[in-house]
Amino acid sequence: MKTKIMKNVLLASTIPLLSLGSINGFAATELSLWYHGAGNPVEAKIIDQIVGDFNASQSNWKVALQSFPQESYNDSVIAAALAGNLPDILDVDGPVMPNWAWAGYLQPLNINSAAIEDFLPGTKGYWDGQLYSLGLWDAAVAMITRKSTLVEANIRIPTLAQPWTLTEFNAALATLKQTGKYDYPFDPGLAWKGEWFPYAFSPFLQSFGGDIIDRESYQTAEGVLNGDEAIAFGEWWQMLFQKGYSPGNSQDSADRETGLVEGKYAIQWNGNWTALNMLKAFGDDVLFLPAPDFGHGPKIGAASWQFGVSASTSYPQGAADFIQFATQDRYMTAFSDAIGLIPPTKTAAAASEHYRQGAPMATFFELSAQQAVLRPVTPGYVVAAKVFEKALADIADGADVVDTLDNAADEINQDIRRNLGYGH
Amino acid sequence: MQKNSSSLTQHNRSGWLFALPGFGLMMLFIVVPFVFAIVFSMTNQRLISPNPTQFVGFENYRQLLSVNLLVLDPVSTETGELKQNTDGTLTYPRIRTFTRNNPNYPHLQGMKEWFSWQWQDKQVAILASDPVFMKAVVNTFLFVMVVAPLQGAFALALALLINQRLKGINVYRAIYFMPVVVSIVVVSILWRFIYDGQNGLLNNLLHSVSFGHLAPVDWLGNPDTALGSIMAMSIWQAVGFHMVIWLSGLQTISPTLYEAAKIEGASGWQTFRYVTWPGLKNTAVLVLIVITMQAFALFAQIDVMTNGGPLDSTQTIVFQAVERGYGKQDISGGSAISVVLFVIVLSISLLQRHFTREKK
Amino acid sequence: MSHSSVDHHRLRLVVRYTLLSLIALMFIFPLVFMLVSSLKPDHQLLADTASLRAFLPVGDISLSNYDKAFERAPIFLFMFNSLLVTAVTVVLSLLLCSMAGFSFVYLNWRGKQLAFSIILATLIVPFETIAIPMLLMVSKLPWLGLEGLTWGWLNTYRVQIVPFIADGLTIFLFTQYFKDLPRELIEAARVEGSSWWQVYWRIVMPLSGPVIATAAILKFLVMYNQYLWPIMVTQQEQYRPVLVGLQYFFQLNTAWGEVMAYLTLITMPVLAFYLVLQRAFIASIASTGVKG
């Protein structure tokens, strides 16, 4: 038994040696690439193809892909960075990028800004005036429901030009609740913890007129996260749960996934990535509607995963070449067709199955182009996002709105101070 | 450590040779990192940051542990009468007017309400600079005080039950042990289905047992039931493990003692009281210590099931340490929590030892 | 009279077995749920949680979740990694910790009190709280291997093994057990001229079946369920263990059937390990007659 184990240990430790040897046979320099798509076969296929095509297209660089499960991707990267073990190219969630750039994990991306001029704003990661990351897609969120649901309840179908107002939306929820047909009229999706909260709900706060942090200075949350507008948002948010309009923090993630299709919910706040399923379930009846206008215009979150170049690489040009190669229309279209993501350019969208003019999900492209707002572009976002998430969860559970927002603002401010202003 | 080992002579060389490999590894991989953590806790070290690290002394601890008292007089009307709400209760000024930018109360700046109560016509509020951590400490203690005795007792009962010569007893033993075999992360995922507030298994069971009289409870979503639900699941998950420890203790008791007890006609209880229990003393110490340590380290269940909510009712010390150190990238604050936890548990075990010694 | 006593005996047996079975039911139902669910398509799995059907393999039953799970992740690789890391750690841990325990109970040496206090104190340090300093440390540690001297332990098996070989709990487990062993045996052996190693290896260890089994199970569980640490130190799929593999299954729209299939698969080795050890465990009970 023991000798067998030893044999396996020896075997296993020689494998990397052998593979290293074989790579050295080529003249190409190896570039390591980290990606968050482990466990997703469809995504893996496309990214594998991009890597394969790139390696075949030139002889200077050879990209080697290492995939990570998304749930723990950020932890893996931070641990690797602490240990001085980052790859050459890595993907990064848009709002986290400034944090990694500020911390010195990423270096500016050497891609001509003219080449990416027509990309959707949410796909371009700028920090401190420089481009650090670039995405192959954006994501957008919409109010997903069925035409028949609204028509039956006599609720106006909103448009991009004329979204629901706050009063209209509240009235719609009350009406839907009264029908008694649904467990909850509106599912914002509290089952999804973490980044979903700021991504999906901070645009609501912005539409009310508040924000997570003051974007003029990026030095304080006072007055924006706990000002009158924010308090109005908080009270509205709490009302959703108190009146039984929305399922709270203990929502089952399975319900989140199936609740709309099964008719437990009437309206769901959900992303374009579920749109394919909804189309399959409801066909023509499905509606992807813009966010309500809570007073300062309808808003949704922007920015998804993007590629960047690590600060420690010796080959920034090769890394940038790969990223530029990957952001070709055909790959962006391929991602879009396969998993329903929004292509960053008009041309890629026009070529795509779901987003070309008149296609059922074209709304999302327009939503993304017209209403999308970035989450605060600051290294402090990572902490602010956590604080925001907890505040919203607590308010949904019935905590005092004013005190909770005050405490959240205090905590964010304290964190900014402790980080000497995060380099703004 | 062993009193009677003084009868043996000194064996410095052999002693060290036997102990060194294990002890050395522990020094390198537990003690050294922990010393680092202590050092971190005295600095403003961030998980990731380009800013230079500075020594800040006990600032992290002050931020974590400061508490203060604020006594509020009820609001009175212009005529000097106490202002009453429609239901007869008194109104008090909001605590935030004292703790946020009030030049008259600089010592309360940034503090938050932890809890408060009524005393005559005044409101007494306990403020903490970090009430979430305070709640985490309280919850952790509650968890330990409930789980340690219950889990130990249930495990012993199971061990006694399973320690009989019956056909097929091995099958039962294996089944009781099964939850232990499954990772706590996996168990937590499964129990989310059980505790689900809408169509969870537990609610369905209660519904049918009570013929529909019990309304469904949102076990993990209700601040009153969330911690209790996690306690129940934790006991369920680990009781089999402690059963095995008790069993290995039971097997060190000589069968001749039981035979003697039988000959003297001792009842079941008497046999337990005078033969079994005295023979389990070392095991009992072991079980108690292991359970207590595990309970203080409560983390995975919280991380998978509640994230500390609802309304901080399931915050725990280790969850807070991780949430800060990694989630909020505040490794110095997270380390300070670790050190506080260490000091708390160390004091408890020293106290415990002190008291058990006096009894002798 | 003898007739009624037989009846009485039978009744007691029935009561005992009923009690045992009821308790068994309490412990096993979530696992039955897991196993049964792994055979169902997602929509049925979720619908069934509302009734007793959750525990019954009824409806659209198939192994297709297992097929899909194998497509999603290299499950055998993860299981191999976990089992390798676990097995090596358990064996080394049993050896080093029992030696340390032996030294603490039977040998007298300078600094023993202090060393034992330190070991007890380490019980209070949850791993989560020292993970970061440890990461910083192992990323710079040297290693002398086939390739010569290398620095940094990331992306290896050893980084998942060496830090966990010795722990306070296992040492403590051994000391508590050794204290109950009859001292006369050891003293007699010493009088006959046995070395301490012979006493340890020939007398003490053969008597320690139950505690070895207990310590092995405990260590096995801890190691097989490692999660936080592998995420931090294995950036290559090649070295990832089973619980990191579990993350592969939590995508935006989680396929619960596949999750259950994966959970069932990774639970089997641990269960098998326990069942095998249990037999060793029972065998060692028979040999404990010498004690007292």
Taking residues B172-184, what's their average pLDDT?
87
Q: Do A316 and A296 fall within a single domain? A: no
Q: Do A212 and A73 fall within a single domain? A: no
Tell how strand A305-310 and strand A130-134 pair up. antiparallel
Chain B CB contacts of A105 below 8 Å: 48
Beta-strand runs (E) in B152-218: none
Number of structural domains chain A divides into: 2
B286-337 tens-digit pLDDT: 888 888 888 999 998 999 899 998 999 999 999 999 999 988 999 999 999 9
Q: Which distant-in-sequence residues (6+ apart) come within 8 Å of A17 by Cβ?
A: C147
Q: Which pLDDT belongs to residue A107?
A: 96
Distances (CA, A) of B244 to B180, B250, C214, C279, C281: 10, 10, 7, 13, 10
Chain C CB within 8 Å of residue B155 CB: no
- Residue A148 pLDDT > 90: yes
Chain A neighbours (≥3 Cβ pairs under 8 A) are B, C
B contact test, residue of A107, A250, A264 with most B CBs within 10 A: A250
- Residue B1 pLDDT > 50: no
C112-156 tens-digit pLDDT: 999 999 998 898 888 888 988 999 889 888 888 777 888 888 889
Q: Identify whether the C-beta of residue B135 lies closer than 8 Å to the C-beta of residue B314.
A: no
Taking residues A203-211, what's their average pLDDT?
97
Distances (CA, A) of B338 to B333, C130, C168: 9, 8, 18
Tell me the angle at which helices C112-122 and B331-359 cross, rounded to the nearest 10 degrees.
120
Q: Give a yes or no: residue A17 inside a domain.
A: no
User: For chain A, what is the largest distance between any 2 Cα atoms, rounded to a whole number of angstroms?
Assistant: 75
**Higher-scoring residue by pLDDT: B169, B131:** B131
**Amino acid identity, position A237:** W
Query: Burial code of C212-246, b = ≥16 C-beta within 10 A, e = fewer?
Result: bbbbbbbbbbbbbbbbbbbbbbbbebbbbbbbbbb
Nearest-CB residue to C249 (from A39, A80, A277): A39
Q: Which of C152, C118, C148 is nearest to C137 (CA)?
A: C152
Q: Do A258 and A386 fall within a single domain? A: yes
Taking residues A355-366, what's their average pLDDT?
88
CA distance A75 to chain C (A): 7
pLDDT band at B352 (very low <50, low <70, confident <90, very high): confident
Q: Which pLDDT belongs to residue B178?
A: 87
Q: Give a yes or no: residue A7 inside a domain.
A: no
Q: Identify whether the C-beta of residue A82 lies closer than 8 Å to the C-beta of residue C132.
A: yes
Residue C145 has φ and ψ, to the nearest 5°, of -130, -160
CA distance A61 to chain B (A): 30
**Higher-scoring residue by pLDDT: A219, B86:** A219
Query: Domain range spanning residue A251?
Result: 141-301+380-423
Chain A CB within 8 Å of residue B130 CB: no
CA distance B35 to chain C (A): 9
pLDDT band at A15 (very low <50, low <70, confident <90, very high): very low
Q: Give a yes or no: residue A169 inside a domain.
A: yes
Chain A CB within 8 Å of residue B312 CB: yes
Among A229-233, B253-257, C13-17, C37-41, name the one with the lowest average pLDDT.
B253-257
* pLDDT cut 90: percent of chain A above it: 79
B323 class by beta-carbon count within 10 Å (0-12 exposed, 13-18 middle, 19+ buried) = buried
Q: Over chain A, what is the mean pLDDT?
A: 90
Chain C CB contacts of B297 below 8 Å: 126, 128
Q: Which of B66, B78, B10, B58 is nearest to B332 (CA)?
A: B58
Q: Give a yes or no: residue C106 inside a domain.
A: yes
Q: Do A390 and A403 fall within a single domain? A: yes
Taking residues C52-66, what's their average pLDDT?
89
Chain C CB within 8 Å of residue B295 CB: no
> What is the domain-level CATH number for residue A285?
3.40.190.10
**Amino acid identity, position C39:** L
Q: Which pLDDT belongs to residue A19?
A: 42
CA distance C225 to C241: 9
CA distance A275 to C275: 47
* pLDDT cut 70: percent of chain B above it: 96
Q: Which pLDDT belongs to residue A329?
A: 94
- The tokens of B100 are what? 């946020």
Task: Residue window 1-60, chain A: list those with CB within 8 Å of chain C.
Answer: 2, 5, 8-10, 12-17, 34, 38-41
Q: Give a yes or no: residue A19 inside a domain.
A: no
The reply to whether ipTM tops 0.85 is: yes
B112-122 tens-digit pLDDT: 889 999 888 88
Residue finishing a domain among A357, A373, A389: A373
Using CA coordinates, name the residue in chain A closest to B112. A407
Domain B132-359 indexed as CATH 1.10.3720.10: yes
CA distance B37 to C132: 9
Taking residues A46-57, what's their average pLDDT?
95
Distances (CA, A) of A21 to A16, A18, A31, B167, C59: 9, 5, 16, 60, 53
Half-sphere exposure of C70 (CA within 13 A, CB side): 6
Chain B CB within 8 Å of residue A100 CB: yes
Chain A CB contacts of C233 below 8 Å: 79, 83
Among A337-341, B1-5, B243-247, C173-177, name the one with the lowest average pLDDT.
B1-5
**Higher-scoring residue by pLDDT: A84, A20:** A84
Chain C CB contacts of B244 below 8 Å: 214, 217
CB contact under 8 A, A39 and C232: no
C226-245 tens-digit pLDDT: 888 998 898 889 999 999 99
B9 class by beta-carbon count within 10 Å (0-12 exposed, 13-18 middle, 19+ buried) = exposed
Q: Identify whether the C-beta of residue A133 lies closer than 8 Å to the C-beta of residue A308.
A: yes
- Residue B160 pLDDT > 60: yes
B contact test, residue of C46, C95, C108, C271 with most B CBs within 10 A: C108
Q: Which pLDDT belongs to residue B100?
A: 85
Query: Domain range spanning residue C87?
Result: 74-249
Q: Identify whether the C-beta of residue B150 lies closer than 8 Å to the C-beta of residue B207.
A: no
Domain spans in chain B, listed from the N-terminal domain onward? 3-29, 67-129, 132-359
CA distance B242 to B235: 10
Using CA coordinates, name the residue in chain B closest to C126. B297
CA distance B204 to chain C (A): 6
Nearest-CB residue to A252 (from B47, B196, B310): B196
pLDDT band at C274 (very low <50, low <70, confident <90, very high): confident
CA distance C219 to C213: 10
- The tokens of B285 are what? 């110490």
A107-124 tens-digit pLDDT: 999 999 899 999 999 999
CA distance B57 to B67: 19
CA distance A272 to A275: 5
Q: Which pLDDT belongs to residue A268?
A: 97
Q: Identify whether the C-beta of residue A382 lies closer than 8 Å to the C-beta of residue B329.
A: yes
Q: Which pLDDT belongs to residue B357?
A: 63
- Residue B20 pLDDT > 90: yes
Number of structural domains chain C divides into: 1
Peptide bond into B310 cis (omega under 30): yes
pLDDT band at B247 (very low <50, low <70, confident <90, very high): confident
CA distance A2 to chain C (A): 8
Residue B126 has φ and ψ, to the nearest 5°, of -95, 120
Indicate if the alpha-carbon torsion angle C75, C81, C87, C90 is positive or negative: negative
- Residue A5 pLDDT > 80: no
Taking residues A90-101, what's their average pLDDT?
95
> What is the domain-level CATH number for residue C118?
1.10.3720.10
B contact test, residue of C130, C159, C222, C276 with most B CBs within 10 A: C130
Q: Which distant-in-sequence residues (6+ apart) come within 8 Å of A383 by Cβ?
A: A412, A415, B328, B329, B330
CA distance C103 to chain A (A): 25
Q: Do A286 and A395 fall within a single domain? A: yes
Q: Over chain B, what is the mean pLDDT?
A: 88
**Amino acid identity, position B84:** Q
Using CA coordinates, name the residue in chain B closest to A400. B311
Q: Do A271 and A388 fall within a single domain? A: yes
Residue finishing a domain among A373, A392, A413: A373
CA distance B174 to B181: 10
Q: Give a yes or no: residue C17 inside a domain.
A: no
